[in-house]
């Protein structure tokens, strides 16, 4: 793990939730409680707004950039889960002067690679033909339509190849069936300022949250 750097007196934490999730997710609530305990400002943008159907990576990035700018001049730490982790990487490359460091959990860094999209090729074609398909939305507790524009827009971004150099801590479950651990290992090995912690856990990483918090607290210099 990288040596912790002394956190500035003013820093804002942004938690980026995953695909078809929300600011009410288990991990978002967990981290909000922990960071509030340190007196640090905490924000979790709702990427479902104005609606889930028109979601795109570009919209998420633009929304995050607006919220970061609105938070004031303080540096920010991005904490991202799954697709939110991929978004954090893209945002770090885009907002180099504002983003100080990253904490990623099961980051979907392979998202733009062939064979690693939300659906297999045959369903992608069905998606294109129909214009929208239903996806299970964990926060809504049921299926919600998503426009094909999401897929088209996602091809513009490749978090695996993103150019960023912020100090980064990554947590990845060995039993993750959604994000291949081997690809996350490749992603980390190619970047000297990225440290990877492999855990005996699945994609949600719920069982590992106490360990994740202990390591994050030390990484961010919040403990002596």
> Structural domains in the chain?
12-112+159-219 (3.40.50.1820)
Mean pLDDT of 15-22: 96
pTM here is 0.94
Query: What totals of helices (H) and strands (E) does the chain contain, helices first?
Result: 7, 8
Per-residue pLDDT of 21-77, as tens digits, reads 999 999 999 999 999 999 999 999 999 999 999 999 999 999 999 999 999 999 999
Q: Which of 78-82, 124-128, 135-139, 220-224 has the lowest mean pLDDT?
A: 220-224
Q: What local confidence, expressed as pLDDT, does residue 3 receive?
A: 39
Q: CB under 8 Å, gap of 24 or more: what pairs does 36-45 form?
A: 38/222, 40/11, 40/12, 40/13, 41/11, 41/12, 41/13, 41/71, 42/12, 42/13, 42/15, 43/12, 43/13, 43/14, 43/15, 43/67, 43/71, 44/14, 44/15, 44/16, 44/17, 45/14, 45/16
Alpha-carbon Rg for the chain, nearest whole angstrom, is: 17
Q: What local confidence, expressed as pLDDT, does residue 10 receive?
A: 67
Per-residue pLDDT of 99-123, as tens digits, reads 999 999 999 999 877 777 788 889 9
Q: What local confidence, expressed as pLDDT, does residue 44 receive?
A: 98
Quote the CA–CA distance of 162 and 198 in Å, as a whole number.
22
Task: For residue 77, report the phi and psi dihedrals to the nearest 5 degrees.
Answer: -110, 130
Mean pLDDT of 152-181: 96
Tokens read off for 163? 């150019």
pLDDT cut 90: percent of the chain above it? 88
Q: What local confidence, expressed as pLDDT, does residue 9 receive?
A: 54
Quote the CA–CA distance of 7 and 17 in Å, as a whole number.
23
Mean pLDDT of 156-168: 96
Residue 92, pLDDT > 70, answer yes
Residue 158, pLDDT > 70, answer yes
Mean pLDDT value across the chain: 93
């Amino acid at each position: 793990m990288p040596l912790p750097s002394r956190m500035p007196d003013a820093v804002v934490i942004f938690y980026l939730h995953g695909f078809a999730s929300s600011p009410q997710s288990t991990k978002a609530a967990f981290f909000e409680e922990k960071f509030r305990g340190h007196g640090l400002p905490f924000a979790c943008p709702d990427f479902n707004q104005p609606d889930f159907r028109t979601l795109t990576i570009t919209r998420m990035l633009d929304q995050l950039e607006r919220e970061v700018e609105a938070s004031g001049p303080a540096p920010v730490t991005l904490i991202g889960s799954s697709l939110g982790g991929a978004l954090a990487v893209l945002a770090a490359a885009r907002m180099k002067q504002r983003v100080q460091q990253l904490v990623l959990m099961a980051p979907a860094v392979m998202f733009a690679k062939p064979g690693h999209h939300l659906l297999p090729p045959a369903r992608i074609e069905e998606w294109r033909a129909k214009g929208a398909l239903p996806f299970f939305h964990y926060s809504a507790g049921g299926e919600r339509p998503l426009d094909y524009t999401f897929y088209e827009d996602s091809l513009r971004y490749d978090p695996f190849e993103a150019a960023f150099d912020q100090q980064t801590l990554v947590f990845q479950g060995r039993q993750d069936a959604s994000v291949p651990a081997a690809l996350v290992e490749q992603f980390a090995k190619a970047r000297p300022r990225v440290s990877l912690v492999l855990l005996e856990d699945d994609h949600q990483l719920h069982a590992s949250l106490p360990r994740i918090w202990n390591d994050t607290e030390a990484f961010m210099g919040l403990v002596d």
